[in-house]
Structure 1
Amino acid sequence: MTEVSARTEEVHGAMDDPGTGSGPPPARPRWVVAVPVAAVVVVLAAVPLFLAPFATTTLTRLLVFGLLAVSLDLLVGVTGLPSLGHAAYFGAGAYAAGWVSIHLTAAIPVPLLVGAAVGGLAAAATGWVAVRSAGVYFLMLTLAIGEVLAQVAQSWDGVTGGANGLAGIPAARLGGESLTGAGFLYWYVLGVGLLAFTAVWLLARSPFGAALRGIRDNEPRMRAIGYPTTLYKYGAFVAAGTVAGAAGSLLAAQQRLVTPDDLGFTTAAIILLAVVIGGAGSLWGPVVGAAIVVLVRDALGPGLGGHGELVLGIVFVLVVYLLPRGAAGLTTLRPSRRRRT
């Protein structure tokens, strides 16, 4: 038990200061973190009051993919399971929420809950096999799972609309009113995103999250001291799929169209790229990475003669060489202190 406690403390230290190798930093007053976070939330909430509808819609899309990136970071950065099929659960949640909105009700929070549940169930059905592998085998297995589900969406015309996608999704309704205005939809997505991000953050900071980081750092040792590592990884996989499904339901509400591309390899690769650019393991860093990806590819791409993906590739290369910990690593930079031996 002493060794387990020591390992848990070590992992908690890694969450506060990953990869420094010099132990956890001195404790900071809570207001040092709370004040900037509150300021960011206030600014985000006020955005629709100052931006045009198109810019607000772009920011709404950014928040959707930011939440998807956070869910993937729970696997990649916290658990050490890089996945190329995570978009499958995102798309499954989007299709489920869209189908419910069309055939049953678009009243909030029904599509959201259905999307999250379907994403979690899809992850539970496929994750039990996936988490029994590791490394490149896990990567390839998740890629195969994603492609299988994308093919199902492509061929199941009666439910998904096939190659044409699931169109005609009605606007989300709150209190009997449709959220057709860009600002109202943005506030809905922002509220759900903040709640989901808080839930993932609390999970990562919990003893369960500490165990996941221990598995990421040294799974054989965690197994040797009594942790059922496969069950822990399976729990993280299902949790990540549930959050991805919730993000998918937000995509259906924002885009009002779901296509097989939303759960295919392209989306999965782009989100993994966002996690790497933002900084795996930081949770908020992937949101920044998703913002960079969406802005470069979707907002700036048309103005760059269709070369948005090329610019995105250049950004990725620069981040890998200049910021190994991603954008989030900028907050942990310290003056180098060389020790004389």
Structure 2
Amino acid sequence: MSRPLLLIVGILIILPAFVSDFWLNQILTRSIILGIAALSLTFLTTYLGVVSFAQITLAGIAGYTIAYFGPNTTGLGIELPWLFAVALALLFSTLAGALVGAIAKKSVGIYSIMITLAISMAFFYFTRQNYSIFNGWTGYSGITAPAIFGLSLEDSLVFYYATLISATAAGFLVVKFTSSPLGLAVQGVKDAARRVRAIGIPTTPVIIAAYAFSGFIAGMSGVLNVWQQERISSFSVGLSPTIDVLIIAVIGGMRHPLGAFIGAITYVLIDTFVIDLFSRDRFNMIIGLVLLFIVMAAPQGILGSFLSAKKRIRKYDNNAIKRKIKNDCEI
């Protein structure tokens, strides 16, 4: 892990000592959870070259699994130990991701967007109409987070650190996956699928594996989100949260896993404090203007623009040093 990332993690570790419970729960923890969801999208976009609108669906599958197999006040489901419920949630989201990949394996560009959007909307309407598993419009409420090693995740400080550990693990998994042979094959499919097939590597399993891995990451956010919100319904997997994840990814930048979390904190700050300056009804307009500005002025996102500026400054400094050395030699 690089020094800047270690510094950021260190700041996030000590930050709860200096912020209120509101900032801890509604700003920082929420941003981390949304960042993990956006990370599952930026992974696909950066390394496979596709935009998936199904990430909230995958997160929702994990969330509904926790609700069904965990304690709730709805009266539906089978309560299992939390560890088994989490394992099932991540398993189902991973398998669902693989299924999405199998459906969209030959789609790129606008076609992958439309296919994954269709899957997302189909799942949304299915949850609204099914009452035996998803409980229709109402969904599940009264979902309680478990206690781990005697520490209750219902405590905001404990839950914050749990989400921080999960986000660090998700980022670590993405970095390790992309540098593995399978991850390199995924990038090869993005850059030159024909060449990958020419050397004897079938592209379909590679694409499905990438979608499955993104489903696992999205599932992590789904588990954490349902524990934080203590409820889940069809509105949790609707069009609005689906687009929100895309906005977060674009704002933060897709070149580095950290971009997803920068986009998330930016989005949450706007979402939380825009009502202090404008009417709540103006939020969509404000976030739309922010997105338009990012796309036009900084298409690489906030993090991408920062890294590009840093690279230009370093190049300028190197050139200045070379000119100084050259002038000294001439003298």
Residue 286, structure 1, aligned to residue 255, structure 2: no
Question: Which residue pairs with 2:275 in the alignment?
Answer: 302
Q: How many residues align?
A: 304
SS at match of 2:144: coil
1:155 aligns with 2:155: no
Identity, in percent, stands at 27
Deviations 1:46-102 (A, max 9, x none): 222221111111211111110011111111111101112221101111111122222
Residue in structure 1 matched with residue 308 of structure 2 by the alignment: 332
User: Which residue in 2 is equivalent to 1:121?
Assistant: 95
> Counterpart in 2 of 1:201?
175
Change (3 A) 1:62 1:239: same
Question: Are the equivalent residues in 2 in contact too, given 1:113–1:246 (CA < 8 A)?
Answer: no
3-state SS in 2 of match to 1:144: helix
Could you say which residue in structure 2 is the equivalent of 1:64? 33
Q: 1:301, CA displacement in angstroms?
A: 3.2
Residue aligned with 1:114, SS: helix
- The 5 A counterparts of 1:149-298 are 149-297=123-271
Distance 1:177 1:285, change over 3 A: closer
Q: For the residues of structure 2 that align with 1:135 and 1:224, how far apart are their CA atoms?
A: 23
Distance 2:85 2:13 in 1: 23
For the Cα contact (< 8 Å) 1:85–1:268, is it kept in 2? yes
**Residues in 1 aligned to 2:127 and 2:105: alpha-carbon distance in whole angstroms:** 24
Distance 2:87 2:167 in 1: 13
Query: What is the distance in 1 between the residues matched to 2:205 and 2:218?
Result: 20
Letter in 2 for 1:335: R
* Distance in 1 separating the partners of 2:85 and 2:227: 9
For 1:51, the equivalent position in structure 2 comes to 19
Maintained 8 Å contact 2:63/2:225: yes
The farther-off stretch of 197-206 and 224-233 is 224-233
Report if the CA contact (8 A) 2:100-2:211 is conserved.
no
My pick for the range that moved more, 234-243 or 109-118, is 109-118
When the two structures are superposed, what TM-score results if normalisation uses the length of structure 1? 0.83
Distance in structure 1 (CA, Å) of the matches to 2:253 and 2:189: 19
Deviation for aligned residue 1:177:
4.7
- 1:157 alignment partner, SS class: coil
Partner Cα separation in structure 2 for residue 210 and residue 271 of structure 1: 25
Instruction: Letter of the 1:236 partner, please give it.
Output: A
Aligned-partner Cα distance in 2 for 1:72–1:85: 9
Q: 1:163 touches 1:259 (CA, 8 Å); kept in 2?
A: yes
Give a deviation string over 1:194-247, Cα, whole Å, max 9, x none.
112211111122232222222222323333343322221110001101111121
Q: Which moved more, 1:219-228 or 1:247-256?
A: 219-228
State the AA in 2 paired with 1:52: S
8 Å CA contact 2:139, 2:231 repeated in 1:
yes
What is the Cα deviation at residue 137 of structure 1? 1.5
Q: Is 2:293 the partner of 1:321?
A: no
Distance between the aligned counterparts of 1:216 and 1:265, measured in 2?
27
2:247 and 2:192 map into 1 onto residues whose CA distance is 24
State the alpha-carbon separation in 2 of the partners of residues 316 and 193 from structure 1.
Answer: 24
Check conservation: 1:106, 1:171, Cα contact below 8 A.
no
Aligned to 1:141: 115
Worse-superposed segment, 205-214 or 307-316: 205-214
Q: Shift in Å at residue 36 of structure 1?
A: 1.9
Unaligned residue ranges in structure 1 (runs of 5+): 1-32
Unpaired runs of 5+ residues, structure 2, are 72-77, 317-331
The 1:105/1:189 distance shift into structure 2, 3 A limit, reads farther
Asked if the contact 1:150/1:264 (under 8 Å) is kept, the reply is yes
